Each structure stands twice: as C-alpha cells, then as structure tokens.
Structure 1
C-alpha cells in the first residue's frame, strides 16, 4: 500500500483537524495516510453526563471524512476512545466501529479498521465483521505492553483475525516519548523493529510517537518557547540504522496522545499558536483570553507577527496555515478561537511533515 517514504498522522476527529486536513495541498495527500482517531463524547460537567448520544456524536462521519480527506487513498480508523465501554452500541444495534467504517465506505473511501491486543471482545468481533464485509485488510497498533512479548502478541492477533501479514498494516506506537530519553528510546525502537517477526512481509510498517506534552506549562504565558520534536529526531536515527526494512513515519501532529477534558468553567486558557519547524515545536503564548486587559483572542494578531518575524517562519505561500498566520498579522484574517489555531497549526504541520519525509529520503538516496 505504501513504503517508508510516507506519513501517517494521527488525526483527532475534531473540526479544527478536519478542516486542516481538507486544506492540505491535494498533491501532498499522495504521500499521506491519516489514522483517524475518534475522540470520546464530550462531557457535560454541569449536568455530569455525556453531552450527546453516541449516534449524535458520530452523525455524518462518512460525509465528514469524504469532505476532509477528499482523496482516493485509504484511511485508518481507530474507535477505541469512543468505545471505552465495550458494550457501547448504536441505536440500530451496530458496534460504533462498524457504523463508522460502513459510513466511510458508503462515501467511497476505503476505511481500514485499527485494533490491538488490549481491545474488548465486542470491539474485536466488530473488526472481524468488517474484515468479512469489505476484505480491505486490517491495521495492528502495537503499544507499550505489546513490546515485551512481541512475537506472541503478534501471532495471537494474526491467528485471532485469521489474516496474513500481507494484508496487515503494522503501527509501532510509542505514544508519548520523553524528550530526555531520545537516545534510549531510539535504541528501543530500532531493537523492536530489528526483532519484529515477519519484518519483510507486513503490508506497511510505521513508527509513531510524539514528544508533545499534555500541557504547555513549561512555556510561560507571554513568552515564546520550544519543545524538541523527539519523535522526528528518533526517526532520523532509524533511517541511519542498519535495518533490513525501514518504517514510515507517524506522529500526533501538534497534540499529546492523552485525552484530558477539563471543566471549562474553571480553566484559564491562554491564547497561543503552535508552529512546527525542522526539529522543534515553536510555542508562541499570549495571556488569558478572559482578561479584558489582553484583548482576548485579539492577542493572536501580535502572536502571528512574532511568528512571521521568526527566522524559522516558512513564508505565507508554504501552506494554508502559513498564509492565515501572515493574513492575521496583517489584519486581513480574523484572530479566531481555539478551533482556528488548531486548524492553522495542524495544516502547517501536515504540510511540513510530508515535505520533510520526502527530503529526508531524497537525501539518503543521494548519499
């Protein structure tokens, strides 16, 4: 389906990320396969209950994916977060994963179910049903607990789903990677890949992870800071390792893998923009958007000016996100809200990652 010269971003299915993906240059989508991760149903803190039903939460999912992805290539779909209770089902009796895959396939896009060794029995049975119905293969997402008994866990998954390696995509997901453990983690990843059973036979192989933290407390409000892109630095080490098969690259874009929902009545949100560069996430932070003194989200006009003045800014024509940053600084684009800046930062990152991967492998070919 694809080789190592490919990008597998974990796209949380929220409006900012959906629009960011939609606005990526269509030619870059040839080198990308999104892993669509369905987020949990939002929580109503005031009434202490979910804000909506599972049916309402997944309403129009097929049309959304068609609009956002708008490409002939497939997508991976992981519904674990929305199926944390294994008895969750739609009003018509279908498992949520089955519903999601059916809706996406109905809209003309190949959707490959993602599973792993820690999923509930109903989830796994839903995957079996999807395999029988569409015969498009399966994606195994290996995580921390899988690496200790790698051969055993891989073989159990293959046997349970009665699939071959040739119809299986494999994602080795290290999730959050501590920036202070770059060398150690790189060795672990390289060791895992080198000992992976059936290494040459998997339909695709991807390394995934991120060093993006759960919060930005390390960068003080009103200042600019940076966070190492440890996952990308590790991937470049993997490319230099003497492996018989190289993986493609995946990350969590500009998010941490954890889903943490905070009661909005008590949160003090600061305006901020995340801007990815070669080996870092640049963080431009303002002040509380509730403070009249700091002009709410109007602060982002000044933040955008700080970005375009930065030597690592890639120019207004680099991506949709970069053009929006330039326009906001000039006063021709709105100063927006959290969704706006997630869309902008995500679109820029998706564009950068695809181009980085292409350049990295082009350079290694020349060498």
Structure 2
C-alpha cells in the first residue's frame, strides 16, 4: 500500500555543471521546473593528458559556469556546491569560487544558496558566512551518515558556528549516498525524529545516489534498481507510521557522484548506450562500439540498433512520455543519433520529468 503523506515533496537533484545537464534543464516542461531546486555541482576541471595540466584555468572554468547558469532563464534559484574545484585555490582576483559564483550570478538575476559540508575549504565556509550575513538566503548543509547530528552532534554545531546562523536558515541534506535499503530508511527516520530537538530547519532532504560506478558489459538491456527512490518510499512509509515529518527528496539522476576516470578519455572505448529511467529501475541500453580503437567502432551506425532494442523493453514509455521518447523514436529510425552528451541530455531530462511526476503522485 502506498504511504499517505500530507505534504508536498520538493525535488532537489544534484546536477553536474556539464553540457548534458544544461541542455536537459533548457528542455524541461515549465510545470517540472516549478517543482525542482537544483543543486549545481561545479564539475572538476578537465585534464589535458598530453600537456599534463588543466585544459582551462579555474578562472575560465568559473566564467563559463556563470554564463551557463544565467542562460537557464527559467531557473532563478538553486544551490551551488564547489567541492570539486576547491583544491584549485582562489581565483586571480582573490575571490573563492563560491564567492565569485554567488556574486556574479546575483548580478544576472540568479540566487545561488551555498552548499557546504565537512569537506568545504575555509574559503568556501567564509564565502557562505559572508553571503548569509548580508542577505536572507539559506545554506545547504550536506551530511553523510556518520556526520548526522545524533551520531556526531559536534559536526553540525561547528558548521553552524562557522557560518553564524541557526537551523532555521539551514536546508539540511541527510545524504545516505549508496548505503541504501531498509537499514538506511530506518536510520533516516530515526534521525528526522530527533532533529526537532535542535529547532525547526528551513527544510530537510533525504538524498541518495544509486547509479553504479561500474556498469554491465556487453550489448543488451539491463535493469538497474533505483535503490535511492525505493529507499525514499520506505522512508515515507516509516515517517507516516511514526508521526515524523516527511523530508524532501534528492538524487544524482543518472550519474554516479564519483566522476573521476583516471585515464585519458581519448583512449576509452565507448559503446552506444542510453540510461532510461523507469518507476523502480533504470533500463541501461547498450549496443555496439560507438567509439573504439583499432577501427572496430561503428560510429553513428551503432546507435539506432541500441535504441530499437531499448524501445522493446516493457518499461519503455511507461508512466509518462516526455521529449525523450520523441527524440529516441526519431533517432532510432532516421533522425540524428547524437553522441554521448546527447544521450545523457535526454536521459537526464527523462529522469527529472519522471521523478517530479512520481513525487507529485504520492498521496
């Protein structure tokens, strides 16, 4: 039986600042955009393996991201997480990446709320403190299980002291990562039940990331459980039965949070593939080599057969149909079949549209 929830559940997806994610956001339905607040995760700098240095400077990287955030004209509020670029230090003008992103996007009409964690650098924490002291913004605090207040109360206390705000200005993310399932659901609900002793948070969000780092090999369709969403449904049921407020929801869509490759992308073999979101799983469609070494790849010709196979899956087109199905149906017949960025774009869009639909249908 579906659990009964008495509140509207908001969706806060973690999205890398990459081309596929930007294109997905630009193509979302207006009604979907109203129901999400993205957490923009600043992508790491790309490495030039031949020159043994970053392809861009940190300043160039941040300049590009500012423009991309502003270009999503329908999203005027989001969180910003700079963890992946903090090791690069401050920018040429002395500002931290967090300060520059918040200041320059504000001038372009976008409000970014800082996201911090125990990994945040002193410069990032200082930037968050400054913006919180000069505005009415809230701050996202992202905690993994061994950092949750009931386990390690000093962590949240120290973070709050470092930014000078109370819990009423905190959007707390209880991030289970990939440690999902029944035990995780109970741990989340237990934590939620104890948070009231700390005061009333601006919001609380359950976050999970179930997309695997290592994918199946070989051509075919593979069902991968959406363990993050399944765990959230369990959390709702336990909250309702225990009289605990239901949290909001966050995931990493069709991406694993660990984006490191460790090798030059130029030497990787890439199969035609599509990450298709369904109610309780993802369907990973894989085909022949799209890009490979030694003349073995088929290029664009590898894509339509993979998409044709995907379209035969029982979950294809289930629950809702989106712009993703329109693209797939064209690409598998005669339309342009795109490239890995295109496939990810339409996969992310499908995931966002479907998840918003699922959350809205929860009674």
Say whether the fold is shared (TM-score over 0.5).
yes
What is the rounded CA distance, in whole Å, between the counterparts of 2:350 and 2:358 in structure 1? Answer: 12
Q: Where do 1:296-311 residues align within 5 Å?
A: 296-311=299-314
What is the rounded CA distance, in whole Å, between the counterparts of 1:152 and 1:356 in structure 2? Answer: 36
* SS of aligned partner of 2:72: helix
Residue 62 (1) aligns with residue 66 (2) = yes
Residue 226 (1) aligns with residue 223 (2) = yes
* SS of aligned partner of 1:349: helix
What is the rounded CA distance, in whole Å, between the counterparts of 2:45 and 2:83 in structure 1? Answer: 12
| Aligned residue in 1 for 2:184 | 185
What is the rounded CA distance, in whole Å, between the counterparts of 1:316 and 1:240 in structure 2? Answer: 22
Of residues 317, 320, 324, the one that matches 1:321 is 324
Deviation at residue 354 of structure 1 after TM alignment: 0.3
Deviation at residue 134 of structure 1 after TM alignment: 3.2
Gaps of 5+ in 1: 363-367
Deviation at residue 290 of structure 1 after TM alignment: 3.0
| Aligned residue in 1 for 2:3 | none
Residue 248 (1) aligns with residue 251 (2) = no
- Range with greater deviation from structure 2 (128-137 or 320-329): 128-137
CA RMSD of aligned residues (A): 2.0
Residue 143 (1) aligns with residue 147 (2) = no
Deviation at residue 142 of structure 1 after TM alignment: 1.0
Q: Where do 1:1-367 residues align within 5 Å?
A: 4-68=8-72, 70-72=74-76, 74-85=77-88, 88-147=89-148, 149-177=151-179, 182-198=181-197, 201-216=200-215, 219-241=216-238, 242-261=242-261, 262-291=263-292, 295-314=298-317, 318-332=321-335, 334-360=336-362, 362=363
What is the rounded CA distance, in whole Å, between the counterparts of 2:139 and 2:291 in structure 1? Answer: 46
Task: State how many pairs are aligned.
Answer: 350
Deviation at residue 144 of structure 1 after TM alignment: 3.7
Gaps of 5+ in 2: 1-6
What is the rounded CA distance, in whole Å, between the counterparts of 1:276 and 1:317 in structure 2? Answer: 11
String of CA shifts for 1:47-90, please: whole Å, max 9, x gaps. 21111100111124333113225234x201000111135xx111
Contact residue 4 and residue 246 of structure 1 kept, 8 A: no
String of CA shifts for 1:217-257, please: whole Å, max 9, x gaps. xx232111111100100100111112421111100000111
What is the rounded CA distance, in whole Å, between the counterparts of 1:97 and 1:325 in structure 2? Answer: 38
Q: Decide whether aligned partners of structure 1 residues 267 and 293 sit closer, same or farther in structure 2, where only a CA change above 3 A counts.
A: closer
Contact residue 274 and residue 283 of structure 1 kept, 8 A: yes
What is the rounded CA distance, in whole Å, between the counterparts of 1:10 and 1:89 in structure 2? Answer: 24
Q: Decide whether aligned partners of structure 1 residues 4 and 220 sit closer, same or farther in structure 2, where only a CA change above 3 A counts.
A: same
Contact residue 61 and residue 104 of structure 1 kept, 8 A: no
Deviation at residue 130 of structure 1 after TM alignment: 2.0
* SS of aligned partner of 1:201: coil
* SS of aligned partner of 2:31: helix
TM, length-normalised to structure 2: 0.90
